[in-house]
């Protein structure tokens, strides 16, 4: 009988020193029952996303072990990078894959938070399905102010950590953990070196949209005392403008529910919005793994004869339509979560 499987995707604030990531990865691989599926290092973001899968009991041990190793090797006092971050081990989500409930994953995140906060004197926030208040559901809300603003933020009543000391840890910062459905981290590069233009495109498509301003460029305040926002095109989508490298701006996204907003939806919307300002979408990039269903859905959009196409042909159409093979070789066997698990577990 197949065993229960949970996925864990820790994000580490180190993407340049491979020796550090190798030691973190080794601590995961040393845990029996856990399979390391993917290690995605990003130099400009100075961030690495690691994907592991296994029995819940084994995965929680691996998550705690790799956090301990990272806490020894990563020092936030010298960290810089494009991606928003607040800690050395920035976020550790638990995701149900097979015969595991969301409630069980919430409990895993609570166990993890209790263990690492006690062991490392680490402030930990619960988010997503594990959040204990509405303001902590969204990770960007918890991260707001990032590492640099954490010392003041953590001392306020509103942002006291759920676990760990209510004190700033200058070496480690703070960590967020929680339970969520599979999230797709997907980016689209533009033929521009202007991050502001990428952020302008992002503001048109993300759920939160953009601030409404008057003819003088001032924010318009609503009756509730908060700035008015114009919602973006899509639900369940976070997006912002970042730099892929020194000469390439990027629309960086988290697709929170690919069944609501799919890869092809955001790709085509970015193409449309980029054209309005004289730009082109030139490459796509997945960070970590992607569900097969999301690729099949995109493949049906891009394939000329989707009704009669084989699964593999639909995946190929998705790779081409999403421009996933522009920046380098895209291996679907290691990048699609179901196929990667099948390969790893036989």
Interhelix angle 56-73/18-29, nearest 10 degrees: 150
CB distance 173 to 279 below 8 Å: no
Based on the residue annotation, tell me whether 301 is a catalytic residue of this protein.
Answer: no
According to DSSP H, which parts of 227-289 are helical? Answer: 263-276
181: exposed, middle or buried (Cβ count in 10 Å: 0-12, 13-18, 19+): middle
One of 79, 83, 118, 265 is an active-site residue; which one?
A: 83
Q: Tokens 């208040």 correspond to what residue? A: 133
The tokens describing 147, both together, are 């590492």
Write out the DSSP string of 93-112: EEEEEES--HHHHHHHHHHH
Instruction: Please report the sign of the dihedral spanned by the C-alpha atoms of residue 199, residue 201, residue 204, residue 206.
Output: negative
DSSP 195: H
Catalytic residues: 83
């Amino acid at each position: 009988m197949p065993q229960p499987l949970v996925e864990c995707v820790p994000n580490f604030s180190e993407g340049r020193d491979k020796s550090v990531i190798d030691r973190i990865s080794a601590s995961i691989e040393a845990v029996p029952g856990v399979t390391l599926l993917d290690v995605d290092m990003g130099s400009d973001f100075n961030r690495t996303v690691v994907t592991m899968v296994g029995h819940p009991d084994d995965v929680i041990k691996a998550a705690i072990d790799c956090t301990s190793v990272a806490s020894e090797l990563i020092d936030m006092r010298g960290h810089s990078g494009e991606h928003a971050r607040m800690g050395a081990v920035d976020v550790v989500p638990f995701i149900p894959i097979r015969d595991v409930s969301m409630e069980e994953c919430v409990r895993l995140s609570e166990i993890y938070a209790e263990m690492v906060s006690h062991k490392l004197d680490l402030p930990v926030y619960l988010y997503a399905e594990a959040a204990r208040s509405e303001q902590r559901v969204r990770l960007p809300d918890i991260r707001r102010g990032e590492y640099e603003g954490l010392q003041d933020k953590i001392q306020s009543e509103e942002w006291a950590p759920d676990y760990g000391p209510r004190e700033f840890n200058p070496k480690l910062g703070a960590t967020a953990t929680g339970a969520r459905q599979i999230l797709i981290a997907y980016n689209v590069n533009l033929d521009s070196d202007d991050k502001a233009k990428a952020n302008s495109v992002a503001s048109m498509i993300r759920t939160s949209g953009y601030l409404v301003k008057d003819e003088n460029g001032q924010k318009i305040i609503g009756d509730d005392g908060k700035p008015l926002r114009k919602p973006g095109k899509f639900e369940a989508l976070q997006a912002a403008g970042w730099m892929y490298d020194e000469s390439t701006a990027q629309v960086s996204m988290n697709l929170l529910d690919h069944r609501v907003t799919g890869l092809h939806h955001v790709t085509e919307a970015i193409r449309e919005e980029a054209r309005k300002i004289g730009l082109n979408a030139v490459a796509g990039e997945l960070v970590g793994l992607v569900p097969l269903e999301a690729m099949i859905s995109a493949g049906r959009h891009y394939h000329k004869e989707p009704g009669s196409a084989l699964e593999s042909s639909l995946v190929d159409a998705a790779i081409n339509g999403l421009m996933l093979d522009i920046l380098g070789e895209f291996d679907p066997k290691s990048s699609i979560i179901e196929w990667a698990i099948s390969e790893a577990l036989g």
